[in-house]
Amino acid sequence: MDYAESTTFQTFERLFKSHYADLYSYGYRFIQDRSQVEDLIQDVFLHIWENRAQLEIRSSTRAYLRAAVKNKAISHLRSNYHLQVALVPPEEISPSTSLPSSEDRSDPETLIQLVRKGVERLPKQCRLVFQLSRHSGLTYDEIAQELGVSKETVKSQIKIALHKLRTFLGRHWDTICLLGILQSF
């Protein structure tokens, strides 16, 4: 690496380090998923690095970076919108599908039933991917091939399923994971 490239890289590194924390907290307001926000910021900086020769910033660096993060986040949300179908809120649960009382939730069998209810509430495609992964033990590649989708779609579906299950199961998530219940699905 020659001197000019070294200087350019050092400048880029300073830019990244000085703006990362701000961009992370800004991006997190749009997408409440740490790894997704980190990926999003990495994509923004990769774009800047790859296009550094022709890049023209007409506003402040901070404003430019925030706009780039916002645009990436909106793009991400749009592309994953169909995957973001929410679970039915607890207040809309009918008596026949009511959740166990807090005393019953420490019983492993009751927790298994609770997880099953959460899995049943997942969107159809999300539930299918989750069950193929957890119940059938297929790898992401095998699931992608089986369903004719990309491996990234499978990863995204699994992330969504786990997020929705965590939300549904709330405070019992740690207990369920400790008991290894999700491995039986």
- pLDDT tens digits, one per residue of 12-54: 889 999 999 999 998 888 787 888 899 999 999 999 988 888 9
3-class secondary structure, 93: coil
- For 90-184, CATH number? 1.10.10.10
Q: Are 156 and 80 in contact (CB under 8 A)?
A: yes
- Give the class (CATH, top level) of 3-79: mainly alpha
Contacts of 110 (CB under 8 A, 6+ apart): 100, 104
Token pair in block for residue 14: 């300073």
Write down the H helix ranges in the chain.
3-28, 34-50, 61-79, 108-120, 124-134, 140-147, 151-169, 173-179
Q: What is the pTM of this model?
A: 0.44
Domain boundaries, the chain: 3-79, 90-184
Q: How many CA atoms lie within 13 A of 3 on its CB side?
A: 0
Backbone φ and ψ for 136, nearest 5 degrees, come out as -90, -15
Taking only the tens place, the pLDDT of each residue in 122-178 is 988 898 888 888 877 788 998 888 888 899 999 999 999 988 888 887 766 555 555
Q: How confident is the model at residue 180 (pLDDT cuts 50, 70, 90)?
A: low
pLDDT > 90? residue 57: no
pLDDT > 50? residue 99: no
